[in-house]
């Protein structure tokens, strides 16, 4: 059984120049969009006048720790700016940087908390989209394997979908869409795992219901081919030949070169049948029907 895996980048390579912009490339399952730290402020000439206490010193110390990949200390320094100078532009900037630092340090719950606070306090900021993306990516990085409850996967999809709706023209939306596909594939994988479990225990109705979920809700994932084959298997076991034939026919039409179709073809053939679509079947309707053609010609039975 193929397991879900996510590969994060090894982290940004950051050259710290305190008097210039610090560009951060964030890593994820898909490439993390670039982010210009000093653009949070705008031009240096436009910075607000700092109070007597050294907010800039605290902030720059945070950048130093970030450059050293000491993400916890970096986050603490940025949080100190926010604590000591809560109404300053430095505080706004530091709050987002603390979220980023926690994300890079794999402290995702803390990253979510900081990013959510940023969005709450600065909903109209140009960087609110980035804060939303950090929050959603933190949920995404906590997606568990298919053997565990997938509540976090659902939360990740919800947060990522919010980015595509609120900020459709941004680079964050494009990255979010890729992450959503990975997360949906994970949910489909969970359904497949449970469906196989039921098949092994001859609970064919329970198995069919799980595979039906994959076919109807996760049709664009990599699991749909096997789901169609398993539907044919379950229906054949129950003696519902028409649905088994339709599952095999739809599989053969949409994925003629799939090894799963070869298995489905042999399965229905073993019962003296061949793949054949029943247009009234829910399987046919789920795929919008298939074009008239001989699906049996798509494979040579061995």
Tens digits of residue pLDDT in 155-186: 999 999 999 999 999 999 999 999 999 999 99
pLDDT at position 252, please? 95
Question: Does 193 fall in a domain?
Answer: no
Whichever domain contains 163, its CATH number is 1.25.40.10
Per-residue pLDDT, averaged over 273-277, amounts to: 95
Domain of residue 216, residue span = 202-298
- In this structure, the answer to whether residues 147 and 277 fall within a common structural domain is no
Question: Does 242 fall in a domain?
Answer: yes
Q: 59-62, long-range: CB within 8 Å, 24+ apart, which pairs?
A: 59/90, 59/93, 59/94, 59/97, 60/18, 62/94, 62/97, 62/98, 62/101
- In this structure, the answer to whether residues 109 and 72 fall within a common structural domain is yes
Answer yes or no: is pLDDT of 212 > 60. Answer: yes
Number of domains in the chain: 2
Per-residue pLDDT, averaged over 104-113, amounts to: 97
Question: Does 268 fall in a domain?
Answer: yes
Question: Does 251 fall in a domain?
Answer: yes
Question: Does 197 fall in a domain?
Answer: no
40: confidence class by pLDDT, cuts 50, 70, 90: low
Out of 42-51, 74-83, 84-93, 234-243, pick the least confident.
42-51
Q: Which of 185, 217, 244 is the last residue of a domain?
A: 185
Question: Does 86 fall in a domain?
Answer: yes
66: confidence class by pLDDT, cuts 50, 70, 90: very high
């Amino acid at each position: 059984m193929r397991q879900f895996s996510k590969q994060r980048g090894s982290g940004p390579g950051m050259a710290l120049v305190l008097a210039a912009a610090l560009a951060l490339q964030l890593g994820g399952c898909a490439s993390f969009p670039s982010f210009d730290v000093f653009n949070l402020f705008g031009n240096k000439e436009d910075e607000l006048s700092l109070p007597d206490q050294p907010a800039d010193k605290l902030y720059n110390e945070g950048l130093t720790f970030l450059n050293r990949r000491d993400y916890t200390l970096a986050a603490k320094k940025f949080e100190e700016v926010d604590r000591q100078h809560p109404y300053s532009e430095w505080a706004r900037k530091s709050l987002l940087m603390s979220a980023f630092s926690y994300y890079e340090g794999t402290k995702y719950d803390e990253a979510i908390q900081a990013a959510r606070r940023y969005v709450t306090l600065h909903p109209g900021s140009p960087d609110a989209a980035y804060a939303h993306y950090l929050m959603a990516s933190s949920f995404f990085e906590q997606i568990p394997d298919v053997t565990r409850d997938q509540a976090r996967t659902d939360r990740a999809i919800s947060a990522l979908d919010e980015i595509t709706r609120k900020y459709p023209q941004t680079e964050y939306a494009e990255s979010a869409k890729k992450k959503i596909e990975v997360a949906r594939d994970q949910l489909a994988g969970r359904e497949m795992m449970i469906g196989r479990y039921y098949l092994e225990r001859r609970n064919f109705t329970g198995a069919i219901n799980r595979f039906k979920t994959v076919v109807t809700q996760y049709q664009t994932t990599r699991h749909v081919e096997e789901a169609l084959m398993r539907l044919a298997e379950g229906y054949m076991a129950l003696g519902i030949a028409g649905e088994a034939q339709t599952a095999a026919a739809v599989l053969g039409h949409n994925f003629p070169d799939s090894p799963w179709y070869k298995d489905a073809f042999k399965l229905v053939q073993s019962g003296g049948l061949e793949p054949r679509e029943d247009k009234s079947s829910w399987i046919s309707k789920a795929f919008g029907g298939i074009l008239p053609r001989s699906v049996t010609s798509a494979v040579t039975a061995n």
